[in-house]
Structure 1
Amino acid sequence: MAKELHITVSGVFWCPISLDLMKSLVSLCTGITYDRSSIHQWLESGHDTCPTTMQVLPSKDFISNLTLHRLINLWIQSSTLRPGSNSPRLLSAIFEVRAKLLMERIESQICVDSLSKVSEFVSCCEENQRFFC
């Protein structure tokens, strides 16, 4: 008898910068994982800190986070979903996690960009609005 694998959607699947599901995962020396394109853009724009912890980075080297990458892929496969799918189950999970991440960013004083994303998120559809009611 085959055992089923169930992976619960986690906030760690989403990039702390873009709030999108990560595709190319890399960690900084602080241990925080980001999507490669987002953290690359952050560092290339002149920042020398970790955007999550605001610690000054002694090194701007990336380390691939293969374990988390595998977990994300397992979650997608276990949900019988594929990237780009418009499945209500996937969209609902994405909306819920993105809403929670946005609220955490607002609460931690990273407000300006987050508030515009909240506005954009809420204006998308009625389902998104229910997350903030």
Structure 2
Amino acid sequence: MERAEVLKRVIAILTEAQEIRRAVEDEGDVEGASDLAPRVVTQMLNEMLPHIRVPADAAPQDVARLLAVALGPALHTMISGFTLAFTSLAMAHDEGRTDVSSAEVLQTLALQVEAGRFDEGT
């Protein structure tokens, strides 16, 4: 996945998690709320991490190297996306912004990503 796609997916996952949580809270389903995090995390990992094929006869060092090469950049980009989203939400909160919801902050962030504001090197 390209960096912008990962950033947009992170934002979409956070937005979806908010919607699911609100729906669960509206229904008063406490058990459903506790299942929310694992579902969202599993969905994110399935969509954003690369599939890795390890030869059956691979030595442990080879497996470690394959995992590092495949997962390192993907995890770095995902963590960057969550950090960007968290920082954007935290800044709105710290500024006392009561005129925008967290969903609106995420939507604005998604539009900025789409416009290329957070492309590599900018």
TM-score, normalised with respect to structure 2: 0.34
Structure with the higher strand share, 1 or 2: 1
Structure with the higher helix share, 1 or 2: 2
Task: Name which one, 1 or 2, has greater alpha-carbon Rg.
Answer: 2
TM-score, normalised with respect to structure 1: 0.32
